[in-house]
Amino acid sequence: MTQYEHILGCLTGTAVGDAIGLPREGLSSRRAVRLFGLPPCNHALIAGRGLCSDDTEHTVMVAMAWLAAAGDVGRFRRELARRLRWWLVRLPAGIGRATLRACIKLWLGVSAERSGVRSAGNGPAMRSAILGLIAESDEQLRALVAASTQITHTDSRAEEGALVIAATARLIRAAGDQRVTRDDVLDGLIATVRDEQLRDKLLVAIEQADGEADLRTAAEALGCPQGVSGFVNDTVPAAVYCWFANQRDYRGAVESALLLGGDADTVAAIAGALAGTQTGRDGIPQPWLDGLTEWPCTPAWLDRLAKQLASPDPQPVRLSPWLLLLRNLVFIPVVLMHGFRRLLPPY
């Protein structure tokens, strides 16, 4: 696979996983199955169609900020902070508490170096896979992940979790058409993790996936029998498990994330990013691609973004802020209607 194919798979894999998972966000694994059934899963937000949430929006903002920064990490930080600030006023339907507080601080004039708040949420991890594919070196990758994380989250666990996802995407790209082995992950990734809890959970995730444990057993071992929380040390091992247990099977990776329950859209978006990096866009089920009713960030626009990210002479790619506001004004009532639907049986 080419660099372009890896990047396009990552971007599209994030968007599709996010859209498939969004209707199940916040539901226990049991309730999600009662409402939406067992696999095969399909888009279920409205009339068999799917829309993306903040997971995809943040990934796109990271990619656009990197293009605008032309490789300069300091400028990347400022460009991403500017995009996050304006993203808030375009009325996103979903936003984490830490990210909301950080965006408000940015609007109050706090610099991007000081806007982050003390939180170990999964926001930075959900936008970091693409950085593993576009960073030019391991050193630059660490700097980009740190810059992306610290704008919103200052807890070192949030940064390390984001780095794990970015480094995993990089590991997948390095493997090319080969499967990533258990030793690749243990020696090239987990051995570098400093946080003991995250390292231990990642080891459990790989052991469960490599041992072909069933999903219920894996969920118990990962400490999320009823659903994955938004704590980065829960989200990242769960997403890594979903990908590693289903290598070269995009559908399997995303459906595993859905069946775990909890923060399903973020886990599915991250697992989808990793799986899409490995399979490319051609490995994503066509009905899932066809059901993605996203605008103006369409699959064709993601393709244009991927081509610039993979280009030796990349140029900035733009989206109209007014179109994004219009999109969110449509998206918000859809999400509200879906929320009211959850109040009805089956329970």
Percent of all residues in the chain with a pLDDT value above 90, rounded to a whole number: 94
The DSSP H or E segment spanning 9 is helix 3-21
Q: Exposed (0-12), middle (13-18) or buried (19+): which is 177, by Cβ within 10 Å?
A: exposed
Give me the pLDDT at residue 262, please.
Answer: 97
Give me the pLDDT at residue 213, please.
Answer: 80
State CA 157 to chain mean position distance: 17
Give me the pLDDT at residue 212, please.
Answer: 79
| pLDDT category of residue 10 using cuts at 50, 70 and 90 | very high
At 304-337, the pLDDT tens digits run 999 999 999 999 999 999 999 999 999 999 999 9
Can you tell me the distance from the alpha carbon of 219 to that of 217, in angstroms, rounded to the nearest whole number?
A: 5
At 27-86, the pLDDT tens digits run 999 999 999 999 999 999 998 999 999 999 999 999 999 999 998 999 999 999 999 999
Looking at the predicted structure, is the pLDDT value of residue 284 above 90?
A: yes
pTM for the structure as a whole = 0.98
Q: Give the position of tokens 């978006």.
A: 269
Q: How far apart are the first and last CA of the chain?
A: 45
Give me the pLDDT at residue 188, please.
Answer: 86
Can you tell me the distance from the alpha carbon of 78 to that of 84, in angstroms, rounded to the nearest whole number?
A: 10
Q: What is the mean pLDDT of residues 202-223?
A: 93
* Residue 98, token pair as written in the block: 């830490």
Give me the pLDDT at residue 270, please.
Answer: 98
Phi first, then psi: give them for residue 229, nearest 5 degrees: -85, 175
Can you tell me the distance from the alpha carbon of 347 to that of 331, in angstroms, rounded to the nearest whole number?
A: 25
Percent of all residues in the chain with a pLDDT value above 70, rounded to a whole number: 100
Instruction: Provide the residue ranges of all domains of the chain, joining segments of one domain with +.
Output: 3-341
Give me the pLDDT at residue 94, please.
Answer: 87
Q: In CATH, what number does 3-341 get?
A: 1.10.4080.10
Give me the pLDDT at residue 291, please.
Answer: 97
| Nearest Cα to Cα of residue 74 among 131, 112, 124 | 112
CA distances from 115 to 78, 91, 107, 231 (A): 11, 20, 10, 20
Give me the pLDDT at residue 323, please.
Answer: 93
Contact 235, 270 (CB under 8 A): yes
At 94-104, the pLDDT tens digits run 899 999 999 99
Can you tell me the distance from the alpha carbon of 133 to that of 310, in angstroms, rounded to the nearest whole number?
A: 9
Can you tell me the distance from the alpha carbon of 184 to that of 194, in angstroms, rounded to the nearest whole number?
A: 18
Residue 251 makes CB contacts below 8 A (sequence gap 6+) with: 39, 40, 285, 288
Give me the pLDDT at residue 211, please.
Answer: 86
Give me the pLDDT at residue 107, please.
Answer: 98
Q: What is the mean pLDDT of residues 125-133?
A: 98
At 146-201, the pLDDT tens digits run 999 999 999 999 999 999 999 999 999 999 989 999 999 999 899 999 999 999 99
Mean pLDDT taken over the chain: 96
| pLDDT category of residue 245 using cuts at 50, 70 and 90 | very high
